């Protein structure tokens, strides 16, 4: 039976991971540590809040004493580290929070893990620190270049990517220097349920339903490799179960799309949903379909992101060959499931943006001893 500490578990991928893990490993214990920044939504964890194998603690990963206390109290043997500032646009506007959480915070977490696992006499015999990183540390690809492998040299371009690269190096250093049992993963763009509506896919769905412009940065021909979040969770599970300590694994969706094509597809899918279910017109009267026009009419080209990476693509041969990973969700079905989830859960979107409500929720559920 594992005892996991999941940092950033009230965020997009962290919350999906918690649901994934407790469904497949119902006897394991999961503690979430999350500072509940603007990107954290406790509503995403409501389905497990009453589960006796689950505990939520509001707190900062940079609080070394708190993390040490949790590792000891819960006898944690596995840390899965998701907590981060994760939005590139915000890192361009203000890099400080990215350095603080993604570098200083990640280091504080490593320090706490070392203090408890490697120095405390009663530490668990085997432990694992899994660090969730991003393909963005590898830089940008031209259209004809081969996809990133684990051996691709780091060339981070945004402050976000640079902060994640810095934490990757620190994780590796704790393995080489102190013998902390680490693994790392670098994944491509995730999509799925519970994603804060500042990222491309949930933002577009939300804006179409509200009849707001869909901002396409520059020419919209930038390419991303989209990975269904549950496939990502499965990749991490395989690494925790069978991955080699000290190693890094790329996890991708084998699913490259230009931004403009994704947005056009979403417009057409939403219009088709409205055509099939007239109740949607009542529920979302500002949506273009409700006004007799196509959602594509909302597409608006805006100024490009500074230093915008042109293309990301992940080569996941290593995790496929060594751990048997393959993405299982097709994009056609994954994007439909995601759209249906957002159509059914606009309340979650409203609650995610309501910070007073989040504060109230955290007062009810913060479970510090």
Q: Which of 136, 168, 225, 320 is catalytic?
A: 136
Report CA Rg, the chain. 20
34 binds ligand NAD (CB under 6 A): yes
12 binds ligand NAD (CB under 6 A): yes
Q: How far is the CB of 148 from ligand TYD (least distance, A)?
A: 14
C-alpha 260/C-alpha 147 separation (Å) is 21
Number of chain residues interacting with ligand NAD (CB under 6 A): 30
CA dist 238 to 184, 231, 246, 324, Å?
12, 11, 15, 8
Burial of 185 (0-12, 13-18, 19+ CB in 10 A): buried
With CB under 5 to 8 Å by kind, the binding choice for 39 among ligand NAD, ligand TYD, none is: ligand NAD
With CB under 5 to 8 Å by kind, the binding choice for 224 among ligand NAD, ligand TYD, none is: ligand TYD
135 given a catalytic annotation: yes
C-alpha 163/C-alpha 38 separation (Å) is 19
Q: Which of 60, 77, 85, 135 is catalytic?
A: 135
160 given a catalytic annotation: yes
Cβ nearer to ligand TYD, comparing 17 with 312? 312
Among 6, 120, 17, smallest CA distance to 68 is for 120
Residues that bind ligand TYD (CB under 6 A): 88, 189, 199-200, 203, 215-217, 222, 224, 259, 305
Secondary structure, 3-state, 230-282 = HHHHHHHHHHHHHCCCCCEEEECCCCEEEHHHHHHHHHHHHHHHHHHCCHHHH
Cβ nearer to ligand NAD, comparing 281 with 362? 362
With CB under 5 to 8 Å by kind, the binding choice for 79 among ligand TYD, ligand NAD, none is: none
C-alpha 223/C-alpha 143 separation (Å) is 9
Question: In the complex, which residues of this chain contact ligand NAD (CB under 6 A)?
Answer: 7-8, 10-14, 33-37, 39-40, 60-62, 82-84, 86, 101, 105, 132, 134, 164, 187, 189-190, 196
């Amino acid at each position: 039976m594992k005892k996991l500490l999941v940092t950033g578990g009230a965020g997009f991928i962290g919350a999906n991971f918690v649901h994934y893990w407790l469904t497949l490993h119902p006897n394991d214990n999961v503690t979430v540590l999350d500072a509940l920044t603007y990107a954290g939504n406790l509503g995403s964890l409501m389905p497990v809040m009453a589960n006796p194998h689950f505990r939520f603690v509001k707190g900062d990963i940079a609080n070394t004493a708190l993390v040490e206390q949790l590792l000891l109290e819960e006898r944690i043997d596995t840390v899965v580290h998701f907590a981060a500032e994760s939005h590139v646009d915000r890192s361009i506007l203000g890099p400080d929070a990215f350095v603080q959480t993604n570098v200083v915070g990640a280091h504080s977490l490593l320090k706490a893990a070392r203090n408890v696992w490697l120095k405390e006499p009663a530490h668990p015999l085997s432990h694992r620190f899994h660090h969730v990183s991003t393909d963005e540390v590898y830089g940008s690809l031209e259209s004809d270049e081969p996809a990133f492998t684990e051996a691709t040299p780091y060339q981070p371009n945004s402050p976000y990517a640079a902060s994640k690269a810095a934490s990757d190096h620190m994780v590796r250093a704790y393995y080489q220097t102190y013998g902390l049992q680490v693994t790392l993963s670098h994944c491509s763009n995730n999509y799925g349920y519970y994603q804060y509506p500042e990222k491309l896919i949930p933002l577009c769905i939300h804006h179409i339903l509200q009849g707001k412009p869909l901002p396409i940065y520059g020419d919209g021909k930038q390419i991303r490799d989209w990975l269904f979040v549950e496939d990502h969770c499965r990749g991490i599970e395989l690494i925790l179960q069978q991955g080699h300590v000290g190693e890094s694994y790329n996890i991708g969706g084998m699913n490259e799309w230009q931004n403009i094509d994704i947005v056009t597809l979403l417009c057409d899918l939403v219009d088709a949903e409205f055509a099939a279910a007239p109740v949607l017109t009542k529920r979302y009267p500002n949506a273009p379909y409700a006004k007799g026009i196509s959602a594509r009419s909302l597409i608006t080209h805006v100024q490009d992101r500074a230093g915008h990476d042109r293309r990301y693509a992940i080569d996941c041969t290593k995790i496929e060959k060594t751990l048997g990973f393959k993405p299982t969700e097709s994009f056609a079905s994954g994007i439909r499931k995601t759209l249906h989830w957002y159509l059914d859960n606009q309340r979650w979107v409203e609650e995610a943006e309501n910070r007073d409500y989040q504060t109230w929720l955290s007062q009810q559920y913060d479970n510090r001893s």
